Amino acid sequence: MSGRSIFFSPQAGRSVDAPMRNASRYAIGDVLRHRLFDFRGVVFDIDPVFANSDEWYEAIPENIRPDKDQPFYHLLAENEDSSYVAYVSQQNLVFDGDSGPVDHPNVAEIFEEFTGSRYRLRRSMTH
Report the alpha-carbon distance of residue 118 to residue 49 in Å, rounded: 23
Element (H, E) at 109: helix 107-110
| Residues in contact with 77: Cβ distance below 8 Å, sequence separation at least 6, in sequence order | 39, 40, 41, 83, 84, 85, 86, 102, 104
Task: Express each pLDDT in 48-77 by its tens digit.
Answer: 999 999 999 999 999 999 999 999 999 999
Report the alpha-carbon distance of residue 83 to residue 27 in Å, rounded: 21
CATH homologous superfamily of 4-125: Hemimethylated DNA-binding domain (2.30.30.390)
Task: Express each pLDDT in 96-116 by its tens digit.
Answer: 999 999 999 999 999 999 998
